[in-house]
Amino acid sequence: MERDRLLASQPSPLSEYSIFRAHHQYGAVPNRHRSYCDSNGNKFISESRASTPFSDGRTGSGPGRGDVHREGAEMYTDLDEPSHSGNPSYVTVDKRAPQPPACLSVVGITYTVKESPGHWWNGSFLRRAKPKQVLHNLTMTFNIGELTALIGASGSGKTSLLDVISGRAEGTVEGVVSYKHNQCRRAMMRQKASYVLQADRLLPTLTVRETLTYMALMKLPGALTSSEIKKKVQSVIEDMGLRHVADSRIGGTIVRGVSGGEKRRITIGVQLLRDPEILLLDEPTSGLDSFTARQLVSTLASVAHNGDRLVLMSVHQPRSDIVNMLDRIGILTSGQLAYLGPPSEMVPYFTSIGHPCPVNENPCDFYMNITSVDRRNADRERLTLRKAQNLCNAFSKSRLQEGMIGTITSGLNYHYDDEEDLRHSQQQLQSPSWFRIFNCLLERMNVHLWRDRANLVGRLTQLPIFVPFLILYIGRLGYSMGSIQDRMGLIYQSTQAPPYIGLTNALAICKSLDRQRLVMLE
């Protein structure tokens, strides 16, 4: 109750800006009425979609696409619905207006999931799942060509925010995610973004080059030749710093191969094969030592700066040398934003609101501690939650938050004509034929099974070992009534056991196939 009361009292960072308000499952159409205000509260765009009759007697939602009530110099184009004339109409933006920076913006995002009521034997099927709000009215921007890290305690909403941005969220999402000032759809995110999960799903018997080559054959357009695919694979190997292990096997728990940091770079390289504009990573440094983690973050910084990509990752607790390689850093607490800006401005900002960082202490560790919620007992939770809430309220009124809101509002009257680029990228990124994918999977699985000699020998010797025991058992059978029953049981086992053995072998193979399928879906 205390937590809900504190969250309800939080002032919205868009209290003076009613921008892109929407309630939708990811990709739905925003609300029917929109009103946009400047920083002084003066309305400069009013858009109504009440049901009105058309000139030809039809009724429907109006105005249509591109219809704008203009009450100032700014102009806005609705990109969500087709015009009533049947032709897509676009409002020509004011060319005199300066071009706003291209960025990924998150506006008023609230994410709600349903908590599991428990196991069925505890009577969970008789109870309703309780809704749990994970993200609370988040508004922020992420710039292209920058490496941004989200930090926070466990359960602060880092992974949930990445899921919402990538379109993988399964709960209810309120608000809008836009890229280059166009609302993101699932089709757009599939073409523009790649998501690297925390776990590495790689076949241990393949080499680094083979892994990237097989994934390139299944991900890249079928029109590419083998030489072009080889050049692309080599380029990714160079970018990720894997040249010295390009022909080494990845390895697993039994047979050693490349290191953990190199495996993580291979996983990232798989996603870079498509040249995504947005790269999302869920705790890429988890499980790595400090030196390997620093190398990985340095590689990601090069990917962001040299490739002009937007790289956004979640980090549980970064070291000070890793923070220095970041362009921006964000602190989340209980699904709210306590800070988002350059690392160099973090200490001055918190000092200005009464929380200076002690000498010889990592600022990230210190500010993560003061923004975390202690849930060991009710009193601690209430006090720490109120403290974190005050920090979030202070940031919502800060200059950094106003700057991000200004970036969002500056893009309201400018439309990046990205739909043509999206159609072009869809044509360029057409999936290869099913025949090519089937051949690639078959070849890769044969290579994997052949190199896994211990498993292969076990599979091939199951039946030869079974036959001698069968012969020995048959030779001892007599001709009594009991032996006749034994023969019937033997015939039954001989016909029924082999299919089950084959089924278990097939299931063992399908596990590795499922791992690679998840990699392709990322």
Tell me the pLDDT tens digit for each residue of 279-304: 999 999 988 888 889 999 999 999 99
The DSSP secondary structure of 35-71, one letter per residue, reads EEE-TTS-EEEEE---EEE-TTS-EEESS-TT--EES
CA distances 478 to 37, 183, 303, 494, Å, are 96, 80, 76, 19
Q: Would you say 64 and 84 are in contact if contact means Cβ atoms under 8 Å apart?
A: yes
Q: Would you say 285 and 301 are in contact if contact means Cβ atoms under 8 Å apart?
A: no
In one-letter notation, the amino acid at residue 518 is L
Does residue 458 have a pLDDT over 50?
A: yes
The Cα–Cα gap between 207 and 158 comes to 33
Per the document, the length of the chain is: 522
Out of 75-89, 204-218, 455-469, the most confident range is 204-218
Does residue 327 have a pLDDT over 90?
A: yes
pLDDT of res. 57 = 39
Task: Find residue 132's DSSP bridge partners.
Answer: 113
The Cα–Cα gap between 219 and 234 comes to 16
The Cα–Cα gap between 206 and 226 comes to 19
Mean residue pLDDT across the chain? 76
Place of tokens 């969002």: 408
Range(s) of the chain covered by CATH 3.40.50.300: 110-428
Mean pLDDT of 188-192: 84
Q: How confident is the model at residue 184 (pLDDT cuts 50, 70, 90)?
A: confident
Mean pLDDT of 390-419: 82
pLDDT tens-digit profile of 21-39? 433 333 333 343 444 444 4
Sheet holding 310-315, edge to edge: 193-196, 278-282, 310-315, 147-151, 328-333, 336-341
Does residue 200 have a pLDDT over 90?
A: no
pLDDT of res. 50 = 37
In one-letter notation, the amino acid at residue 157 is G
pLDDT of res. 233 = 95
* Cis before 30? omega within 30: no
Does residue 230 have a pLDDT over 90?
A: yes
The Cα–Cα gap between 10 and 133 comes to 14
% of the chain surpassing 90 pLDDT? 34
Who has greater pLDDT, 120 or 313? 313
Beta-sheet pairing, 147-151 with 328-333:
parallel
The DSSP code for 255 is S
Q: Would you say 311 and 279 are in contact if contact means Cβ atoms under 8 Å apart?
A: yes
Does residue 274 have a pLDDT over 90?
A: no
Q: Half-sphere exposure of 187 toward its Cβ, with a 13 Å CA cutoff?
A: 13
Q: How confident is the model at residue 55 (pLDDT cuts 50, 70, 90)?
A: very low
In one-letter notation, the amino acid at residue 74 is E
The Cα–Cα gap between 391 and 393 comes to 5
Q: How confident is the model at residue 489 (pLDDT cuts 50, 70, 90)?
A: confident
Does residue 216 have a pLDDT over 70?
A: yes
In one-letter notation, the amino acid at residue 260 is G
pLDDT tens-digit profile of 56-111? 333 333 333 333 333 333 333 333 333 333 443 334 444 455 566 778 999 999 99
Instruction: Give the angle 485-488-494 at the CA atoms, nearest 5°.
Output: 140
pLDDT of res. 522 = 52
Q: How confident is the model at residue 40 (pLDDT cuts 50, 70, 90)?
A: very low
The whole-model pTM stands at 0.74
**80 three-class SS:** coil
Q: How confident is the model at residue 514 (pLDDT cuts 50, 70, 90)?
A: low
Does residue 150 have a pLDDT over 80?
A: yes
Mean pLDDT lowest for which of 74-88, 231-245, 394-408, 508-522?
74-88
pLDDT tens-digit profile of 419-432? 555 555 554 556 78
* The architecture CATH gives domain 110-428: 3-Layer(aba) Sandwich (3.40)
pLDDT of res. 3 = 55
pLDDT of res. 185 = 82
Q: How many helices (H) and strands (E) does the chain have?
A: 17, 16
Who has greater pLDDT, 279 or 452? 279
Place of tokens 């350059």: 342
- State residue 131 phi and psi, 5-degree precision: -70, 140
What tokens appear for 436 in the block? 């090519």
Beta-sheet pairing, 23-24 with 193-196:
unpaired
pLDDT of res. 16 = 39
Instruction: Give the angle 442-273-341 at the CA atoms, nearest 5°.
Output: 140
Q: Would you say 429 and 274 are in contact if contact means Cβ atoms under 8 Å apart?
A: yes
Beta-sheet pairing, 310-315 with 147-151:
parallel
Q: How confident is the model at residue 125 (pLDDT cuts 50, 70, 90)?
A: low
Q: Cα Rg for the chain, rounded, in angstroms?
A: 29
Strands (E), 62-129: 69-70, 103-115
Cβ-based burial of 107 (10 A; exposed 0-12, middle 13-18, buried ≥19): buried
Mean pLDDT lowest for which of 242-251, 330-339, 443-452?
443-452
Who has greater pLDDT, 415 or 408? 408
